[in-house]
Amino acid sequence: MGWFEPKTEKSAVPPAKAIWAICPKCNSHFSKAQWKKNDSICPKCNYHGRLSARERIARMADEGSFEELSPEISYSDHLKFRDAAGDYRSKVEAAMKKTGEKESVVTGRCTIGGFKSVLGVMDFSFMGGSLGTGAGEKITVAAETALAERRALIIFSASGGARMHEGILSLMQMAKTSAAIQRLKAAGLPFISVLTDPTTGGVSASYAMLGDVNITEPRALIGFAGRRVIENTIRQKLPEDFQSAEYLLKHGFIDRVVARSEMKGFIVKLLDLFGVSK
Query: What is the model's pLDDT at position 16?
Result: 60
Indicate the SS3 state at residue 105. strand
Average pLDDT, the chain: 93
Judge contact between 212 and 230, C-beta under 8 A.
no
2 pLDDT above the threshold of 70: no
Query: What is the model's pLDDT at position 59?
Result: 96
The confidence band for 33, taking pLDDT boundaries of 50, 70 and 90, is confident
Query: What is the model's pLDDT at position 36?
Result: 87
The DSSP call for residue 38 is T
Query: What is the model's pLDDT at position 3?
Result: 57
How far is residue 155's CA from residue 246's CA, in Å, rounded to a whole number? 20
How far is residue 179's CA from residue 177's CA, in Å, rounded to a whole number? 5
Contacts of 89 (CB under 8 A, 6+ apart): 77
Pick from 68, 75, 72: nearest CA to 54 = 68
Query: What is the model's pLDDT at position 21?
Result: 86
Query: What is the model's pLDDT at position 88?
Result: 96
How far is residue 202's CA from residue 183's CA, in Å, rounded to a whole number? 20
**Alpha-helix residue ranges (DSSP H) falling in the chain:** 16-19, 32-37, 53-60, 88-99, 133-148, 168-186, 201-204, 227-234, 245-250, 263-273
What are the Cα distances from residue 126, in Å, to 35, 50, 96, 168, 184?
Answer: 21, 12, 7, 20, 27
pTM of the model: 0.91
What are the Cα distances from residue 28, in Å, to 21, 43, 176?
Answer: 8, 9, 41
How far is residue 53's CA from residue 120's CA, in Å, rounded to a whole number? 9
CA angle 152, 206, 265 (to 5 degrees): 35
The confidence band for 19, taking pLDDT boundaries of 50, 70 and 90, is confident
Judge contact between 143 and 178, C-beta under 8 A.
no
Query: What is the model's pLDDT at position 85?
Result: 86
How far is residue 87's CA from residue 66's CA, in Å, rounded to a whole number? 34
How far is residue 68's CA from residue 60's CA, in Å, rounded to a whole number? 14
Query: What is the model's pLDDT at position 31?
Result: 87
The confidence band for 226, taking pLDDT boundaries of 50, 70 and 90, is confident
157 pLDDT above the threshold of 70: yes
242 pLDDT above the threshold of 60: yes
Pick from 100, 169, 90: nearest CA to 135 = 169
Class of domain 50-273: alpha beta
Indicate the SS3 state at residue 131. strand
211 pLDDT above the threshold of 80: yes
Q: What is the pLDDT of residues 96-128, one digit of tens each?
A: 999 999 999 999 999 999 999 999 999 999 999
Q: How many CB atoms lie within 10 A of CB 43?
A: 13
Query: What is the model's pLDDT at position 233?
Result: 93
Cis peptide leading into residue 218 (ω within 30°): no
More confident position, 181 or 84: 181
Judge contact between 109 and 66, C-beta under 8 A.
yes
Spell out the domain ranges in the chain: 16-47, 50-273
Average of per-residue pLDDT across 7-25: 68
Query: What is the model's pLDDT at position 9?
Result: 55
The DSSP call for residue 46 is -
Query: What is the model's pLDDT at position 101?
Result: 97
Amino acid identity at 274: F
